[in-house]
Structure 1
């Protein structure tokens, strides 16, 4: 499984999660580290969605941008791309980077479980509380 972090997340989330999951054969990337995007880190959401759709690997994405599920064009692109999406709950912006990075590691087994049990496309919210379950979002 490969994990994509968009511009609404800091690069440290991708590098921290990558360090934890790479020994299992998984990888995490921030948008700034993805080759092939037409405008690099400044690529539009539709551009990175299309790039992930075209690759043969299994991808999930993590974002803090709730607009992805509200914008009709982006929702349609995400559905057709067959991705598993995870949106950080709104409180993450007020939480320290180290706490969110540790939360992503804490939730990693749950993220994998969702991608294994459910057919893509799916969308879930990652709550800031460690004990909270992933919450399915209407998609």
Structure 2
């Protein structure tokens, strides 16, 4: 499985998670490094969603921007792409990057469990507290 971190996240999160998951045959990419994405870092949300929809590999994404759920075009694209998405809670914007990376790695088993149990599309919020459950958003 591949993980995309969009432009609302730091590339450091992608490289940190990649170091953790590559031993399982998985990979994590920041938007600027996604193979085959024509506009790279300058891709609009609709562009990378479409790219992941067409990709033969299984993809999920992690974003720091919950506004994509309020945009009707992006919501429709997410539904049709059949992706599992995870949104970082707003509190992450004021959290040190090393703590955000640690929390994403900490939550990785939960993320895998959700992607295996639920049919895509699905959206969840990754809360700031480690003892708080992931919260499901309507897609």
TM-score by length of 1: 0.98
- For 1:110-129, list aligned pairs within 5 A: 110-129=110-129
How well do the aligned residues superpose, as a CA RMSD in angstroms? 0.7
After TM superposition, give the deviation of residue 35 of structure 1 in Å: 2.8
The equivalent residue for 2:80 is 80
Q: How far off its partner does 1:136 sit?
A: 0.3
Aligned to 2:96: 96
Q: Which residue of 2 aligns with 1:36?
A: 36
Equivalent pairs, count: 139
Give structure 1 regions of 4+ aligned residues with deviation exceeding 3 angstroms.
none
- Structure 1 Cα separation of the partners of residues 35 and 59 of structure 2: 15
Contact 1:63-1:86 at 8 Å conserved across structures: yes
Give structure 1 stretches of 5+ with no counterpart: none
Tell me how far apart the structure 1 counterparts of residues 44 and 37 of structure 2 sit (CA, whole Å): 9
Measure the CA separation in 2 of the matches of 1:83 and 1:111. Answer: 13
Residue aligning to 2:61: 61
Give the CA deviation at 1:39.
Answer: 1.8
Shift of 1:33: 0.4
Mapped to 2, the partners of 1:58 and 1:38 lie a distance apart of: 19
In the alignment, structure 2 segments of 5+ residues that lack a partner are: none
Is the partner of 1:21 in helix, strand or coil?
A: helix
Assess if the C-alpha contact under 8 Å between 1:20 and 1:105 holds in 2: yes
- TM-score, structure 2 length as denominator? 0.98
Paired with 2:59 and 2:37, the residues of 1 have a C-alpha distance of 16
